[in-house]
Chain A
């Protein structure tokens, strides 16, 4: 079965990464993950046009999610990004200022997340499902 798109997950909690990985794998997405902002950016740079969407945590070591969003959006303004903030943290406005397309608060409702991913990936002009590619 053709993949629905390639996603990059950046989060310093291996529990969250594993949960998202399992859930989105079952939804037929191709996935890559990193446990901090710097590794996430390096992974993205290895295939800048290959990713259809990024999901990033906000509070992380070295480069925060806000930094990740600013850096990735400067490289690819059309890249859809979903920011996830921890309960009781206050960087939502920063994530929005940094132009995250969607900001979700933990605990994440997976159905809502799936809906956002699906909408953003389809809306993105850069995205072409594999079966429509020449």
Chain B
């Protein structure tokens, strides 16, 4: 099935352009972005545009399985390799031979498995569990994460050598709130999609007031949240109720920098908005304090860097000295935290 990358924003246009240039290279890719932005969609578009599109696309979620199980999923095992291994099983690396292996949530992979993955990427060979035989695999690895891998390297939970080997092509997908011009495109695309899926039901397109509410909402759960809410509105027809819900959570969206974080949360709205927690699809098993800490830190860092850049009139050399970080780190942070130079300072 063809998976298009929907959007008209400069960011999405740039990602399409990048895909056009790298899809036929087979170079390792890392896709980053918040939960729900469409990392898997980008990986599938890469695959579809590559010469490997008639071979398998195999997906593995590295966060969903405990270590031992993930290892046997990736590399397979021989009969009798461990208790319960009654017959030989091929691993995902082998199943994705000549095709694509999409490693989702790579940032959650344990250090021992990172070491084994690095070996496979370096040598193109691996041994299934319980086997001494090395198997050659020509597999295009596309990895995705919502973590900041550079930060994970700093706290020694991600190997730098694996990072450099994976990060040959880097595709960052900004959150939907930073590219609101894509919202209408997404509404139109998914409305048509849902209408064709539920063709026997009487589904009407959204009326203008609902579209306006959708356009002004910050979508903390990104495209996935938009899809879920759109589906609810189209199928249940309870548009007004949903608008009220969106408006309520939008009121709580912390645009004010003075929000008192010591105040206990009365509802989940601040979590929804700031930390990407989607009540619609709430899956508490993936709720992580570590993620929340990272997002909070990112937000504070972003504000601090913006403040200093503003004070130095976007002189990056001066700003890096004030912030006591290297020039290169500052450039990295500007890209990583999606800090845009205001047009007024460009004119100076």
Contact = CB atoms under 8 A, between A and B. Distances in A.
Interface of A: 12-15, 38, 41-42, 59, 61-64, 66-67, 70-71, 74, 86, 89-91, 94
Q: Is the interface of B mostly helix, strand, loop or mixed?
A: helix
Contacts of A74: 25
Contact of A12 (B17, B18, B21, B331): B331
Given A38-B18, A67-B25, 9 more contacts: A59-B328, A61-B335, A64-B169, A64-B170, A66-B168, A67-B168, A70-B168, A71-B25, A90-B160
Chain B interface size range: 20 to 34
A13 B335 contact: no
B161 A70 contact: no
Contacts of B21: 38, 41-42, 63, 71
15 contacts: A13-B327, A13-B331, A38-B14, A38-B17, A38-B21, A42-B21, A62-B169, A62-B171, A63-B21, A63-B170, A67-B169, A70-B27, A71-B27, A74-B25, A89-B164
B167 A63 contact: no
Interface in B134-189: 160-161, 164-165, 167-171
A89 B161 CA distance: 9
A64 B165 CA distance: 10
B249 interface: no
Contacts, number: 56
Contacts of B168: 63-64, 66-67, 70, 94
Contacts of B164: 59, 66, 89-91, 94
Contacts of B327: 13, 15
A67 B165 CA distance: 10
B167 A64 contact: yes
Contacts of B206: none
A61 B170 contact: yes
Q: What 5 A-B pairs have minimum CB-CB distances, sorted nearest first?
A: A91-B164, A67-B168, A61-B335, A66-B168, A67-B27
Contact of B317 (A15, A38, A64): A15
A63 B328 contact: no
B229 interface: no
Contacts of B328: 13, 59, 86
B8 to A, nearest CB: 19
A41 B21 CA distance: 8
Nearest to B29: A67
B169 A94 contact: no
Contacts of A62: 18, 169-171
A63 B22 contact: yes
A37 B116 CA distance: 29
A120 B25 CA distance: 26
A90 B103 CA distance: 23
Nearest to A45: B21
A71 B316 CA distance: 31
Contacts of A38: 14, 17-18, 21
Contacts of A14: 316
Nearest to A92: B164
A38 B168 CA distance: 12
